Structure 1
Amino acid sequence: MNTTTDSAPETLRGTMVDTVKEGGYARTSAVEVAMRAVARHEFVPEATLTDAYADIAVITKRAADGSALSCASVPTVVAMMLDQLDVRPGHNILEIGAGTGYNAALLALLAGASGRVTTVDIDPEVTAGARRGLDATGNQHIQVITRDGALGAPENGPYDRIIVTVGAWDLPAAWREQLAPGGRLVVPLRWRGQTRSVAFVRDGDRLSSDRTDLCGFVPMIGQEGEHTGAIDADGLVSLYYDVDQGIDPAALRGALDQPKTTVWSGATVGPTDSFDGVWLNLTATDAGTCRIAAEDEAVSSGLCTPAIQWRTPAITDGTSLAYLTYRRLDDPERRSELGAIGHGLAGQDLAERLCAQVTAWDRDRGHQPRIDAYPAGASVTGSPAGVVIDKQDARLVLSL
């Protein structure tokens, strides 16, 4: 397809990178140069040139229900993760999730002639497409392997850098074991209902974060650690929670019908201000943090009015819960005040706890919790006090 009537690929690619940089990404000249050099449209031949160079994900494979199985990620997110990865010439790099091959081509350019790139994907259709795109763009030297990404590629390790380009709920042992000491792992990791691109550095058996950024990715096959369940009789409001939390949606059934308590924080946001940092901080301070989502009817009836309809943080405790909300202020700058709504016997306490974290976030909006990842079951006595999150292959410790 790849046709347009008004712009050449080079012009569109330049505009794409300008947009990425305006968003605060492609911070290093190396990432910027790579993104200006690699022809993204060659990796998404079914897309128009306009779509190939727009700041959008290009879906390349869908499931029978229409959900995305593989895509070329949003260019801004690609740049963000490359910033986090910090590739240097000569690095040996492993990519989990081959996608279209575009990201591997960028990695190869960053690693230079003395570097090496291996990309792995479980889907043979995806790896075949990546191989075609890489061959068509002169990247025959990049190795493409069809394999479960959780296994990595030990035959080419150890790796200076590992980047995961599918949404991961867990951190398989192979990724840690195949990462060189001091190496960096960048992974879109999901916990407590949110996904963050986390940059980890390996120190022995511990992976320690030094940056996290909000993102969203097609989920990795075979990692089923998140559960969901409705908490009202009509199935209009649901919680998304992790298997280790012991949350019982049935115990919360009817909680929203009980009188609510609303607590306001005094913290305000403008129309374009992000407040996702509240959620991130909650995961490091409250073991009951999860995600609440409400259908249109629930919002319009006032049954549940979360700050963002489909993805808002909540905290639970047995038969009670509280979730983040907001109210519009009579303000020329169209600002809103953040608060919390609580239901159940402990609803007010939970709402106050949530608002306390809103206030803490408001004092330092750029602060990020530290995330340490250990092998499953490892002792964490030497880590800072924080929330422990147990996954199948990893134990996370989050601390403020």
Structure 2
Amino acid sequence: MSTISYSPEVLRAAMVDRIRGVGHASTPAVDAAMRTVPRHEFVPEASTEDAYADIAVVTKRTDDGTALSCASVPAIVAMMLDQLQVQPGDRILEIGAGTGYNAALLAQLTGPGGSVTTVDIDADVTAGARRGLDATGNEQVHVVTRDGSLGASENAPYDRIIFTVGAWDLTPAFWEQLAPGGRLVVPLRWRGQTRSIAFVRDGEALVSDSMELCGFVPMIGQEGERTGAIDTDGLVTLYWDVDQTIDPTKLSGVLDQPKETVWSKVLVGSQDPFDGVWLRMTGHDGRVCRISADPVAVNAGLCTPAIPIRSPALVEDDSLGYLAFRKLGEGRFELGAIGHGPHGGHLAGQLCNEIEVWNQDRNARPTVRAYLTDAPRSAISLDHALSNEAIEKAASRLVVSVSRRSARHAST
């Protein structure tokens, strides 16, 4: 039986149609760029079918198999380009050269009147990006081998900056190199989650105007996130930030202790997002982190988070609570929490309170403001912030705030 083989043009058109079907590539400019740039030319080691499938193509790994560089999932590429809102003639900086595919898309979007500079710390990666860009007629793109945290001051200021690697921190370079009113899109990691945030420069602050949950290969050299297993077989892992006082050794064996389950009476459908619970919690509770359970742990009933690979958890000394759900019927689930340890029941109850607050205004869109750590306190806006305490990183600090309506809900 023969297999039908489709041309790259047909596969590329089908890829963009799928992406538009899930709400991305939402502008004519992004749609046209993705229909024009030949992704398969940037991932020659992949089959043409894989090049246009909605999957990431890993292009470099460490000796232990960890991905160092990849061509991102096309739907995520389109989502972030939508967030970036490139205009013709823009000067653009990309952190994370990857295969060069995203830089080629940016060159299409900014046109001959603009410029694109892409930076990567890995010389093998930049060499590969340069080859792909040259082979597809994008010789005008500047490719720089450098620590991405330094940016590229030689071509600054930039109207748009985009990261295609997961960043834990934002260094002073991005305040210095982003033009007033410019946009910066970055998969930013804090409290165990990664969100693609579109920031707009507003004086001393970078202010979010959109956020999407995502996952990215982490940026080399930013070591602000910690990890640790809490079971003897290494099947359940916590992820937290260096400014948090979480000690996984205190939780060793906690999952073997009796569990306490609390249900919130809040229902969601199979396609309803509930990651807003996690986002709100990061703004006011320094105990929130990420829990990840291997399928073996889930199947054995040792640890059953709502989303096994990434769910919010609360840690207090030797006790743990994490988000869970149970199926009530066809396509209906009840959100709740499971606790272990001396204070596990209390932590599970607090998680349910957070679920209930989120449920009162599910459409609320918290705002994240980023400042440099040396910014004067007078420049930091705490209006509607969920806490008077900022989330501290090495070079920057984050403040999470909500609308007046949501703030009232949080106080009831």
Q: What are the Cα deviations for residues 172-202 of structure 1, in whole angstroms up to 9, with x where unaligned?
A: 1111210001100000111111111011111
Compute the displacement of 1:258 (Å). Answer: 3.2
Query: 1:297 and 1:60 mapped to 2: Cα distance?
Result: 29
Deviates more, 1:26-35 or 1:303-312: 303-312
Query: 1:109 and 1:343 mapped to 2: Cα distance?
Result: 53
| Structure 2 counterpart of 1:253 | 252
| Structure 2 counterpart of 1:335 | 332
Are the counterparts in 2 of residues 326 and 336 from structure 1 also a CA contact under 8 Å? yes
> In the superposition, relative to structure 1, how do residues 369 and 348 fare at CA in structure 2: closer, same or farther (>3 Å)?
same
Compute the displacement of 1:60 (Å). Answer: 1.2
Q: What are the Cα deviations for residues 58-86 of structure 1, in whole angstroms up to 9, with x where unaligned?
A: 11111111121111111100010001000
| Structure 2 counterpart of 1:374 | 371
Compute the displacement of 1:226 (Å). Answer: 0.9
Are the counterparts in 1 of residues 171 and 396 from structure 2 also a CA contact under 8 Å? yes
Deviates more, 1:166-175 or 1:356-365: 356-365
Query: 2:203 and 2:171 mapped to 1: Cα distance?
Result: 15
Query: 1:239 and 1:362 mapped to 2: Cα distance?
Result: 26
> In the superposition, relative to structure 1, how do residues 234 and 74 fare at CA in structure 2: closer, same or farther (>3 Å)?
closer
- Structure 1 residue ranges, 4+ long, deviating more than 4 angstroms after superposition: none
**Partner AA of 2:42 in structure 1:** F
**Partner AA of 1:21 in structure 2:** R
| Structure 1 counterpart of 2:267 | 268
Query: 1:155 and 1:207 mapped to 2: Cα distance?
Result: 22
RMSD over aligned Cα atoms: 1.7
Are the counterparts in 2 of residues 229 and 239 from structure 1 also a CA contact under 8 Å? yes
Are the counterparts in 2 of residues 370 and 399 from structure 1 also a CA contact under 8 Å? yes
Q: What are the Cα deviations for residues 195-239 of structure 1, in whole angstroms up to 9, with x where unaligned?
A: 110111111221111111011111111011111122234443221
Match of 1:399 among 398, 401, 410: 401
Query: 1:311 and 1:144 mapped to 2: Cα distance?
Result: 34
Query: 2:186 and 2:68 mapped to 1: Cα distance?
Result: 18
Query: 2:21 and 2:224 mapped to 1: Cα distance?
Result: 36
> In the superposition, relative to structure 1, how do residues 296 and 10 fare at CA in structure 2: closer, same or farther (>3 Å)?
closer
Matches within 5 A, 1:1-400: 5-329=4-328, 331=329, 333-380=330-377, 382-384=381-383, 385-387=385-387, 388-400=390-402
Query: 1:234 and 1:70 mapped to 2: Cα distance?
Result: 29
Are the counterparts in 1 of residues 168 and 222 from structure 2 also a CA contact under 8 Å? yes
**Partner AA of 1:135 in structure 2:** D
Are the counterparts in 1 of residues 204 and 375 from structure 2 also a CA contact under 8 Å? no
Percent of aligned positions with the same letter in both sequences?
65
SS of 1:135's partner is helix
> In the superposition, relative to structure 1, how do residues 244 and 59 fare at CA in structure 2: closer, same or farther (>3 Å)?
same
Q: Aligned pair count?
A: 395
TM-score, normalised relative to structure 1: 0.94
Deviates more, 1:88-97 or 1:283-292: 283-292
**Partner AA of 1:59 in structure 2:** V
Structure 1 portions without partners, runs of 5+: none
